[in-house]
Structure 1
Amino acid sequence: MKPGTRLKSAVCDTEVMVIRSGAGTIECGGAPMAEAKPETIGAVDPAHATGSLMGKRYVDSAGTFELLCVKPGKGSLSVNGVALTVKEAKPLPASD
């Protein structure tokens, strides 16, 4: 999957843009995400229902995956079942 690809959730309104990716399946709400919105929307897995926030970047612990949430939803983002975390902003350098 190349950077700039937009993925849509199969179980909620979440949409993300791929910033960086590796080998693995990007999921939302416990279901794999795809470039096209499915005809019927499934149910969010309760174990993956913490939600996603618009404008936040989500990363895995190794830094292999980075996703930008462009539309929020009820499902949480994961890769191969492992939850992604919100990327913390880098502090600006102090100016004297």
Structure 2
Amino acid sequence: MTSPAPTLRPGDQLAGTACTTRVVVVRVPADRAPALTCGGTPMIPTTGAPAVPASGAEPVTLLGKRYVDAADTLEVLCTSAGAGQLACDGVPMTLKAAKPLPASD
């Protein structure tokens, strides 16, 4: 039996257990408790995360970038790049696009 996913709150700092990826939760959906994973393994609070040595692999999760789920309800900010791909409820998260600036006529 697996334990239920921890309730995410804005400001939570999470770390991947299989790579060096670390994120800060920016926005969470009010109606559900999503399961956030990195590289196929659940992310855990950074306070309990073991130090994972950096691999020579090219980072998939990029430092300083924001990632959102398919419904655009969960948003995280990457604070440490890593080789694992972020996923929400088993669906890969995507890089959040920048908002276009208004035209200055």
TM-score normalized by the length of structure 2: 0.77
Q: What letter corresponds to residue 28 of structure 1 in structure 2?
A: C
What is the aligned counterpart of 2:14 among 7, 10, 16? Answer: 7
Contact 2:59 2:81 in 1 (8 A): no
Separation in structure 2 between the aligned mates of residue 17 and residue 7 of structure 1, nearest angstrom? 6
Separation in structure 2 between the aligned mates of residue 20 and residue 77 of structure 1, nearest angstrom? 15
The CA RMSD over aligned residues, in Å, is: 1.7
Gapped regions of structure 1 (runs ≥ 5) = 42-48
Could you list the structure 1 runs, at least 4 aligned residues long, displaced by more than 3 angstroms after superposition. Answer: none
Q: What letter corresponds to residue 76 of structure 2 in structure 1?
A: L
Q: Greater CA radius of gyration, 1 or 2?
A: 2
Output aligned runs, 1:6-45, within 5 Å: 6-22=13-29, 23-35=33-45, 36-38=48-50
Gapped regions of structure 2 (runs ≥ 5) = 1-7, 53-57
